[in-house]
Structure 1
């Protein structure tokens, strides 16, 4: 009892409410725990050629535009190699075989970029972390159960897209990707540069499905660039990175190759539609970028074994360049690359006489190109086409 027998006064104190906001960016895993591949986004560029450093070397295996290759000692050995063996890109570096590396879900940190892109849309922290845990454990069906019960958001549609891809449900995956595109292109839109950085991080982490999904969104976002020339250039770059991702997925084989075929081909083909819808761009630049996009699409169809469809896309690119540039079409590097790739696709179809014809046309076009970045680049391209021509003629002579 207080002095004097009085009760102490009661003091009511009201504390201000405290709001805790959790940042949702967390470390993420790759496409499939335990597996990685070795191809990165910057590794696919234009048609290039690797040389062995010996002018007397025998023909090496046939090379596609921008595909890694090795070198053998004789024509016979090269002619017996699978048609899936390719040529090295000018931006490609040597990496370990996909069988030599393993996934580590905690090996890379994209937290900062995730936060800046704000994919989470305030998803409850505990719920988000539980879903990530299930995905990292490849429990995609379990993750979907929770994802379907929470409000629609960027992160929800992003993770649902991945889960449906992994579960072999491409139609549902593509619907979720479409929903994600609509959300991300609604105001306020994320910076396309931020999303591109996140794509690059996913590619570096070998998280190819996630990279593929966000690349489709990047192509949409580029349409909002105030400079239409930048728009068509950005969309074309997206198709180039998409080639890299699809190639990496095909190289993994099995389920990843199926996802590349059923989802990846649809995504990269949609990029062509986005590029064509851009208005106000310089006519010549847009035609060159569209032809490059058609080449990239054909390349991906070639990668999954759809050689006739690939030729169709390559021919559309040639037609566009002929219509736009007329007799000057061959002055553009892309013209010769398209001819080279048509020859390669005919080679894969065992139509060696047509392959020979297109390789010769490609070599002729190389001599007219006015936009080679350097003489060294011209030499690399020409040597690669000559190498493929040599192998093709060897098979023709020996009826292989």
Structure 2
């Protein structure tokens, strides 16, 4: 105990952000003998809470009744001492836990109770909002630095994927997209319909990179569906939306076109693999959806001037239908579309004679199709191929 002075001296015990001033007469067991300290609530004279910018805040007198109940203890709540605590005069612990004060000065009942409060979500909300602001301001490096220091989550991997795309680091972007897919297809999977709605919102907002990333996850989610037919239809639908997103990015040019090529082509090709891995679907549905997906993959390669690769995907679709349906293959409208698409690729390659041949085959197939969704779709498809044939023949005359 301190000696002398007209005012009773106090002993300051520093806890995280709180100074507790004990009245003179409070007894403490000596640290040298490894004993612990008990202090009665009545012996707390003052609690000093430092304010921002002022570590020496004024002490505020507290009535004992104002001490939170978590700190209060009655005489009946006395804690029995072990043999190592002999010599301690006060046996009723109040305020900070004796174990915490002696063994771990950085902790107290105050911090323990704060730790049990759900503050993490609030902190994450603020962090993510700051990161979103950085991304929206195109400060991708700054956002990346913060993202790398926070726990792995859907939001973190989603934002990391976008940042790496924007920074021209497709390999890391694809790794983050793969991690995001794993998280989203875990036991607590989101509704694929909800994710598709979010994709549509991003497309409407021209946030095509975000839409592309989420579409890759949607294909995975569809695969986990209980109905194989619905799964393959869903994945084919994702490939169609993905093609439109890739086309939009490519036509923006510059960095966006590079992202569409280096990330988008891999994503849509992966969708094709996912569709092919689905088992149990009806044969006709499976073939139709796979051929449709091959069409969309081919369109994407065509968009980047990879015409030979595009022809390869379209030919895969033709082979699939021929092998599955034989002489009846021509009855499926996707068959005529694939022929038209091959003709378009050859026209862009400058091989007009081959282009003309495939356009004519396409028109012949269209006339024999029995599964058109509507007459409007039939007439539109025929009109497109006829125009392509006309353009090709005009080029052949030059």
Give the secondary-structure state (helix, strand or coil) at the position aligned to 2:157: helix
Q: Could you list the per-position Cα deviations for residues 40-73 of structure 1 after superposition, in whole angstroms to 9, with x for gaps in the alignment?
A: xxxxxxxxxxxxxxxxxxxxxxxxxxxxxxxxxx
Q: Of residues 53, 57, 65 in structure 2, which corresponds to 1:11? A: 65
Deviations 1:65-114 (A, max 9, x none): xxxxxxxxxxxxxxxxxxxxxxxxxxxxxxxxxxxxxxxxxxxxxxxxxx
Distance (Å, rounded) in 2 between the aligned partners of 1:362 and 1:217? 34
Report what 1:165 is aligned to: 165
Provide, for residues 129-164 of structure 1, a one-character-per-residue CA deviation record: whole Å limited to 9, x for no partner: 211111011010111111111111111000000000
**Structure 1 residues 169 and 327: CA distance shift in structure 2, 3 A:** same
Superposed counterparts of 1:285-296, under 5 Å: 285-296=285-296
Q: How far did 1:10 drift? A: 3.7
TM-score w.r.t. length of structure 1 = 0.71
Structure-2 change in CA distance of 1:9 and 1:201 (3 Å): closer
| 1:223 equivalent in structure 2 | 223
Shift of 1:125: 2.1
Deviation at 1:187, TM superposition (A): 1.2
CA distance in 1, matches of 2:211, 2:315: 29
* Per-residue CA distance 1:311-337 (angstroms, 9 max, x = gap): 000000000000011111111110000
Task: Give, in whole Å, the separation in 2 of the partners of 1:270 and 1:383.
Answer: 32
* Separation in structure 2 between the aligned mates of residue 149 and residue 20 of structure 1, nearest angstrom: 20
SS at match of 2:65: coil
User: For 1:241 and 1:342, how far apart are their aligned partners in 2?
Assistant: 21
Matched position secondary structure for 1:367: helix
Instruction: Note the 1:13-52 alignment, pairs <5 A.
Output: 14=68, 19=117
CA RMSD of aligned residues (A): 1.8
Q: Which has the higher helix share?
A: 2
Distance apart, 1:168 and its partner CA:
0.5
2:282 alignment partner in structure 1: 282
| Aligned residue in 2 for 1:299 | 299
Q: CA deviation at 1:21?
A: 6.8
Instruction: Determine which structure has greater relative contact order: mean sequence separation of CA pairs < 8 Å that are 6+ residues apart, divided by chain length.
Output: 1
1:375 lines up with 2:397 in the alignment: no
How far off is 1:9 after superposition? 7.7
Aligned residue runs from structure 1 range 40-189, under 5 A: 124-189=124-189
Shift of 1:126: 2.2
Q: Deviations over 1:260-309 (max 9, x none)?
A: 00000000000011001100000111011000000000000001111100
Aligned to 1:343: 343
Shift of 1:363: 0.3
- Indicate how the Cα distance of structure 1 residues 292 and 9 shifts in structure 2: closer, same or farther if over 3 A, else same: closer
Look at both structures and tell me which one has the larger radius of gyration over its CA atoms: 2
State the Cα deviation string for residues 325-366 of structure 1 (Å, max 9, x = none).
Answer: 111111111000000000000000000000000000000000
Structure 1 Cα separation of the partners of residues 339 and 63 of structure 2: 93
Stretches of structure 2 that go unaligned for 5 or more consecutive residues are: 1-61, 71-112
Structure 2: distance between partners of 1:150 and 1:345:
47
Q: Please state if 1:314 is matched with 2:314.
A: yes
- What's the counterpart of residue 251 of structure 2? 251
Taking the aligned partners of 1:373 and 1:187, their CA distance within structure 2 comes to 37
What does 1:192-271 correspond to in 2, within 5 Å? Answer: 192-271=192-271
Shift of 1:13: 5.0
TM-score (norm 2): 0.71
Question: Which structure has greater strand proportion?
Answer: 2
> For the residues of structure 1 that align with 2:64 and 2:375, how far apart are their CA atoms?
89
